[in-house]
Chain A
Amino acid sequence: MNALPNPLPRPVDELERLERIWEVPKGWEFLKAVNNTYIGLFYIGTALLFLVLGGALALLMRAQLAVPDNDLLEAATYNQVFTMHGTVMMFLFAVPVVEAMGVYLLPGMTAGRDLPFPKLSAYAFWAYAIGGLIFFCTLFLDAAPDGGWFMYPPLTSYEYSPSSGADWWLLGIGFIEISAIAGAIELVVGTLRTRAPGMSLDKMPIYAWAMLVVGVMIVFGFPPVILGTLLLELERAFHWPFFIAEKGGDPVLWQHLFWLFGHPEVYIIFLPAAGMVSMIIPTLAGVPLIGYRWVVTALVGVGALSFGLWVHHMFAVGIGPLSMALFSAASMAIAIPSGVQVFSWIATLWRGKVRLSAPMWFILAFFASFVLGGLTGVMLAVVPFDWQAHDSYFVVAHLHYVLIGGMVFPLFAAFYYWAPTVGGKPLSERLGRWACGLMFIGFNVAFFPMHITGLLGMPRRIYTYPEGLGWDAMNLASTFGAFILAAGIVIVLIDIALHVRIAGKVNANPWRASTLEWLPLDNYASRSIPRVTSREPLWDNPSKKVAQGSAMVNDHFNNDPHWSNCVIRALR
C-alpha cells in the first residue's frame, strides 16, 4: 500500500468528463433518469406509497372489526380489502422496497458507479410502478380480487369467482414478478461483477451478501408462482382443469406452487433487513460485526433452507406424515441460522459502545418483535399445534410480528441511518424517537392480543364476529393499536418530507460508518474508485481520519485528489 497522499496524477479533464457523462436529465427528461440513485429513490418512494395505501386498507379492516356485528364494510367489500391489503403489502411494498433499497445502496457499498444494467432497473421500476397502480385502482371499480392473497382454488377458479377480480390479480402479480426477477438479476450481477478492486467476497459488506443471496432466491423462488398464475389463468379463461379435482386436477398443486414461492418470499423480505441491521449495528456500536463469516454462512443457510419449508403452510391440508415430519423439522431448523445472526448482533452490541440514536431504537424494536415472531414461528412448526392455530388470528399475529418486526422496523432504522446519503438534512432525531415509540407501542397493542383471540378460536379473514365469544375487548384494543402504529408511520413520512431532498452531491458520514457508501459521492458515485483492502475500508484505511471527518470530507477530497491509494478507472 502506498503512503498517503497518493502521488499519482489525475488525467486531464477527469472531473469535467465525469460530470458530463453522469449529468442528471433536467425537467421532464428527469423521468428518463436511469442512475441507480434516482431509480432507487423513485422505487423506495413508490413502495412507501403502497405502504400507505396498504396501511389505509388495514385501518379500514381494523375499524370494521373494532366491535362485534359491525356493518361499516359489507362482506364483499371487506373480502376485497383484506385480499388487497395482503397482496399490496407483500407484492407491492415488501419485496419492491427491499429491492429498491438494494438498487439504491449497493453500488455505493461496493463502490460501483452504478448497477451493471441501469436500464434494466429502470424497467423493473416502471413496470412495477405502473402495474402496481393499475392493480390497486381495481379496488375503486369494485373489480378487486377477493380470494385472499394466496388465492387458493377452487374458490378462485371460474366457478366460484366468475368476476374479473381474480384475473386482475393473476395478471398484475405476473407483471410484478417479472419486474422482481429483473431487479434480482441486477442485484446478483451487481454484487458479483461490479465490486471495487480488492473487495473480494470475504470483504464484501454483509448487506451486499444478503442481497446476493436474496437475488439468487428471487431467481429461483419466483418462477413457481409465475407458472402457477399462468396455469390458473388458463383454467379461468379456457377451463383447462389444472386445479379442479372433479376433472382430474388437483387444488393442492396450486398450494405447492404458491408456497414454493411464498415461503422463500418471507426470507426474501427478511434477509435484506437482516443485512441492513448487520450494517447499522457495527457503526453505531463502533466495532466490526462479530462473526462476519458466521453471519455470511447463516445468510446462505437461511436462503437454502427457506426452500425446504413451504409445506408448513399446508399442514392442515392433509399431507402425509413423512412430509409433515420433514417440513416440521426444517421449519424448526431455520431458527438456528436466524439465531446465529441475532447472537452476532447481540455480541457486537456487547463489545461496542452503543449510541442510542433513532436507528438504534428501531433496531431494538426489531429485536423484541422479531424474536417473539420467531418463537411463535417455532410453535407453528409443531404440526399438532399448527392444526389448532391454522388460519386463526394466532397466525395473523405471528406473520405480522415477523414481517413488521423483522422487516419494517429495520427498514425504518435504515431510513434514519442512510438518509444522510440522499442529501438534504438528516432525519430528525426527535421525530425518529417519537415515531419509533409510537410504532412499537401501537404494533404490540395491535398485534399481541391477536395471539390470544387466535387461541380463543377467532379465524382470520372474517368480516365480522358475533359478540359474547370473548373476542370483543381484544379486538377493540387491536384497533386502537393499529391507529397508534399508523400515527408513528405518519410521523416518519412527515420527517422524510420535511428533511430529505435529493441533492445529487453528498458528503457526510455523520455516523462515522466504515463502508464505502459513506464516501463523498456525486452522481458519478465516488470520484475515484477506491482499492479495498479490508472489510471496514473507512476505518482501516490510513485516511480514515479524513473519512470520519463528516461534513468537510468532500472539500478535502476535491482539493486533494490524491487521497488514499486510489485507482482511476478508465471511463467507458
Chain B
Amino acid sequence: MNRLVLEATQPGVFRGQCAEYCGAQHALMAFYVIAEPEPAFRRWLAQEATPAIEPADPFLRRGLDAFLRGGCGACHTIRGTRAKGPHGPDLTHVGSRRSLAAGTLDNHIGTLAGWIADSQRIKPGNLMPSMNVFVGPELRAVAAYLESLK
C-alpha cells in the first residue's frame, strides 16, 4: 500500500485528484486537503469524534426516520443512530463536509437531495443506487437531516 505525505506550509484548502486511472468515474475522483493551525485541527478532531445529535425538529426527525426506513443504514453509518452499515461513507458529520461524491458536487441540501434521488445519473457506475424511493417532502426531509449533521 502506498502512503502519500503532504506537507502544507500554510493553512488553506488544496484540491487533489486521482492520478491513476481507476475505472468509469476516474474523472470525478477529487478530494480537498484542508490544512489548519493545530488548535483548530484539534477542535475539528474532537468534533468529528462526537456522535450525531438526536434531531429535535420534527421535519429533521422525519428525515432520520425515512433514512432508516429506506434502508440507507445497510451501507452507511451515522454514529448515535441504528444506522451501522460498513460499506458506504460514514455520514455522522456529513453536513460539515466540503463536497459530495469525491469532489463532484458542492455540499448543501439541494445537492444532497439530487445525489440521493439520482446518484447514478450524476456519476454512472458508482456504488450507490439511485434512491428514488424518496419523493417530495420525504426526500427534502432526508436531505435536510443530512445537512444538519454538522
Q: Is the CB of A464 within 8 A of B21?
A: no
Q: Is the CB of B27 within 8 A of A148?
A: no
Partner of B19, one of A318, A391, A465: A391
Q: A74-B124, A75-B125, A76-B124 are contacts. A457–B17 as well, Cβ < 8 Å?
A: yes
Q: Is the CB of A148 within 8 A of B21?
A: yes
> Would you call the interface of chain B mostly helix, strand, loop, or mixed?
loop
Q: Which residues of B contact A148 (CB under 8 A)?
A: 21
Q: Is the CB of B15 within 8 A of A459?
A: no
A316 close to chain B: CB less than 8 A: yes
In the complex, what's the smallest C-beta–C-beta distance from A184 to chain B, in angstroms?
A: 30
A316 to B17, CA, bound (A): 15
Q: Is the CB of B23 within 8 A of A155?
A: yes
A64 to B27, CA, bound (A): 13
A304 to B110, CA, bound (A): 60
Q: Which residues of A contact B15 (CB under 8 A)?
A: 457, 469
A160 close to chain B: CB less than 8 A: yes
Contact residues, A79-128 vs B (CB, 8 A):
79
A469 nearest in chain B by CB position: B15
A400 close to chain B: CB less than 8 A: no
B9 close to chain A: CB less than 8 A: no
B22 close to chain A: CB less than 8 A: yes
Q: Is the CB of B27 within 8 A of A465?
A: yes
Q: Is the CB of B19 within 8 A of A75?
A: no
A458 nearest in chain B by CB position: B17
B104 nearest in chain A by CB position: A466
> Would you call the interface of chain A mostly helix, strand, loop, or mixed?
loop
Q: Which residues of B contact A531 (CB under 8 A)?
A: none
A15 close to chain B: CB less than 8 A: no
Q: Which residues of A contact B20 (CB under 8 A)?
A: 152, 316, 391
B18 close to chain A: CB less than 8 A: yes
B47 close to chain A: CB less than 8 A: no
Q: Is the CB of A461 within 8 A of B125?
A: no
Partner of B21, one of A75, A155, A457: A155
A433 close to chain B: CB less than 8 A: no
Q: Is the CB of B124 within 8 A of A75?
A: yes
Q: Which residues of A contact B19 (CB under 8 A)?
A: 316, 390-392, 459
Q: Is the CB of B125 within 8 A of A76?
A: yes
B56 close to chain A: CB less than 8 A: no
B25 nearest in chain A by CB position: A75
A31 close to chain B: CB less than 8 A: no
B133 close to chain A: CB less than 8 A: no
A75 to B27, CA, bound (A): 8
Q: Which residues of B contact A460 (CB under 8 A)?
A: 21
B103 nearest in chain A by CB position: A466
In the complex, what's the smallest C-beta–C-beta distance from A130 to chain B, in angstroms?
A: 30
Q: Which residues of A contact B10 (CB under 8 A)?
A: none
A461 nearest in chain B by CB position: B21
Q: Is the CB of B27 within 8 A of A464?
A: yes
Q: Is the CB of B26 within 8 A of A461?
A: yes
A115 to B144, CA, bound (A): 76
A52 to B24, CA, bound (A): 26
Q: Which residues of A contact B18 (CB under 8 A)?
A: 459
In the complex, what's the smallest C-beta–C-beta distance from A482 to chain B, in angstroms?
A: 19
A148 nearest in chain B by CB position: B21
Hey, what's the 0/1 contact readout for B1-41 against A, CB within 8 Å counting as 1? 01000000000000101111111111110000000000000
Partner of A160, one of B2, B23, B124: B23
Q: Is the CB of A317 within 8 A of B26?
A: no
Q: Which residues of B contact A464 (CB under 8 A)?
A: 27-28
Q: Is the CB of B21 within 8 A of A391?
A: yes
A147 to B21, CA, bound (A): 8
A464 to B21, CA, bound (A): 13
Q: Considering residues A392, A457, A462, which has the most beta carbons from chain B within 10 angstroms of its beta carbon?
A: A462
A463 close to chain B: CB less than 8 A: yes
Q: Which residues of A contact B25 (CB under 8 A)?
A: 75
Q: Is the CB of B26 within 8 A of A462?
A: yes
Q: Which residues of B contact A459 (CB under 8 A)?
A: 17-19, 26
Give the top 10 A-B pairs by smallest Cβ distance, nearest first: A462-B27, A461-B21, A391-B19, A463-B27, A318-B2, A148-B21, A75-B24, A464-B27, A459-B19, A459-B17
Given contacts A155-B22, A392-B19, A461-B26, 9 further A-B contacts (CB under 8 A): A74-B124, A75-B25, A75-B125, A76-B124, A155-B23, A316-B19, A391-B21, A461-B27, A464-B27
26 contacts between A and B (CB under 8 A): A74-B124, A75-B24, A75-B27, A75-B125, A76-B24, A76-B124, A76-B125, A146-B24, A148-B21, A152-B21, A155-B21, A155-B22, A160-B23, A316-B19, A317-B2, A391-B21, A392-B19, A457-B17, A459-B18, A459-B19, A459-B26, A461-B21, A461-B26, A464-B27, A464-B28, A469-B15
Give me the interface of A with B, judged by CB distance under 8 Å: 74-76, 79, 146-148, 152, 155, 160, 316-318, 390-392, 457, 459-465, 469
